[in-house]
Amino acid sequence: MSGLTELIFADTQHFQGVVDPRFEDLAKQFSRLLQASNEQGGAALAVYFQGEKVVDIYTGKKSNTEQWEADTMSVCYSTGKGVLATLAHILVSQGALDYDSPIAKYWPEFAQNNKNEITLRHVLSHQSGLFDIRNIIEKASDMADWQAMLKHLEQAEPRFKAGTDTAYQALTFGWLVGGVLEKATGQTLDALMQSYLLDPLDLDGAYFGVPHTELHRVATPCRKITSTTQAKPQQAVKKKQPRKTTFSERLLELSGQNPQDFLDAMVPRAMRDFSFFSEQGLTAVMPAVNGTFTARSLAKIYAMLAQKGQWKGQQLIDLEIFNEFTQIQTYKRDRVMPIPMKWRLGYHRVITLGKRVKSGFGHVGYNGSGAWCDPKRHLSFAYVHNFPVASMTGDYRLWGLSQEALRCADAVETGHKGWF
């Protein structure tokens, strides 16, 4: 059966959870897109609209032997950058630091090697020049040592003068932002997350470094179960097929960008010897890449942002600060990302299959997870999973579900769903 046929005839009720009738079409779309993949993994989707949760559903497998549950968390890679940025904006609102003072004001050791003028604004908008991970550490497992990584960033030298170019800090973003937040407040990142996000929003799963007591909740990639049947003679002599290039790699090639910049930003040495799903990888603090969340926690964080920093009577982010960080900081072509990102302070544009979201912002992860909000529609969205996929810009499920969430919201507000 072809993929299109599978989609058309897929079960539209293959999920658990709760759905507001106004967003029933989104839940059906979720079921259609996920049913064929249910043996390869699982996923969860959560949406808030006008300050209320309207979708909280899940399906599939949490691991080879477990089914996805309501409180299952997923490693979301770069989706966590938006959460860390949100924490930074809350602390700016609290007066703990500001966007335009040199980071070295709060973190004097950071000034080494021509970094004395780099600001939080430069880092949040990927204009610091500190995107290179490959040449500042010896092996990927070094990333698991938080304090050592802060030292490495103190000693790192920018690849360009801050503010003169744009290069996605795929991995370094977490230590840069998290480090300055710790130095400015004198508190650990874990304590800051607890005080300023988990407690005020009553989140049920949002971590940079999963506590050992919560590891049982984390979804892990499902291993392929291979047949033990002896291969036929003609199968045994088949030549190994070359690896197919990924969509992101093709985009990079077509964009004309320098592949070395991509490699330096994205791939530490000895990456094959390190797993984000090992106990070491899950419990380490690597905020740019191993943020672990439930969909409902991500959607609630962005629901607060969809209401311009306000949540249930609490003003977590000042309106002036909100208006500042939602402005596009640079239209310059990124040296690492192959498509226009329209970087705000810690977020990028919302990618859909047609609907325009000019006021929206969020962040996707390398595995195709993603979370975003649109303050104009008072809408927030989060999708997480554990499928074995990789893409710098999300995947068709994320794009399709984002599109349908917008269509459902428009149907409520204007009476017409539309495609654009």
DSSP string, 120-157: HHHHHTT-SS----TTT-SSGGGGG-HHHHHHHHHH--
C-alpha 62/C-alpha 67 separation (Å) is: 5
At 252, is the pLDDT very low, low, confident or very high (cuts 50, 70, 90)?
A: low
Q: Report which residue type is found at 359.
A: S
Please provide the average confidence, as pLDDT, over all residues in the chain.
Answer: 92
- Global pTM value: 0.92
Q: Let me know: does 15 contact 60? Beta carbons within 8 Å.
A: no
The distance from CA 326 to its chain's CA centroid, rounded to whole angstroms, is 17
CATH code, 3-67+293-414: 3.40.710.10
Q: Per-residue pLDDT tens for 81-119?
A: 999 999 999 999 999 999 999 999 999 999 999 999 999
Q: Which of 310, 351, 347, 311 is nearest to 326 (CA)?
A: 347
Q: Per-residue pLDDT tens for 396-415?
A: 899 999 999 999 999 999 99
Q: Which residue is it, tokens 């609907």?
A: 355
C-alpha 203/C-alpha 301 separation (Å) is: 8
Q: Report which residue type is found at 247.
A: F
List all residues 6 or more positions away from 266 whose beta carbon is below 8 Å from its beta carbon: 133, 170, 171, 336
At 37, is the pLDDT very low, low, confident or very high (cuts 50, 70, 90)?
A: confident
CATH code, 82-196+253-283: 3.40.710.10
Q: Per-residue pLDDT tens for 201-251?
A: 999 999 999 999 999 999 999 987 654 434 444 444 445 455 465 555 566
C-alpha 302/C-alpha 314 separation (Å) is: 15
Q: Where are the domains of the chain?
A: 3-67+293-414, 82-196+253-283
Q: Given a cut of 90, is residue 36 above it in pLDDT?
A: no
SS3 56: strand
Q: Per-residue pLDDT tens for 336-383?
A: 998 899 999 999 999 899 999 999 999 999 999 999 999 999 999 999
pLDDT at 274: 96
Q: Let me know: does 374 contact 359? Beta carbons within 8 Å.
A: yes
3-67+293-414 against 82-196+253-283: fold identical = yes
pLDDT at 248: 57
User: Listing from the earlier edge strand, what are the strands of the sheet with 52-60?
Assistant: 16-19, 52-60, 42-49, 379-385, 370-374, 361-364
Q: Per-residue pLDDT tens for 170-215?
A: 999 999 999 999 999 999 999 999 999 999 999 999 999 999 999 9
Q: What is the dihedral of CA 55, 395, 74, 192, to 10 degrees?
A: -90
> What phi and psi, each to the nearest 5 degrees, are found at residue 49?
-140, 125
- In terms of residues, how long is the chain? 420
Q: Which residue is it, tokens 């989060």?
A: 382
Query: DSSP secondary structure string, 330-359?
Result: B-SPPSS-SS---B-SS-BPPP-SS---TT
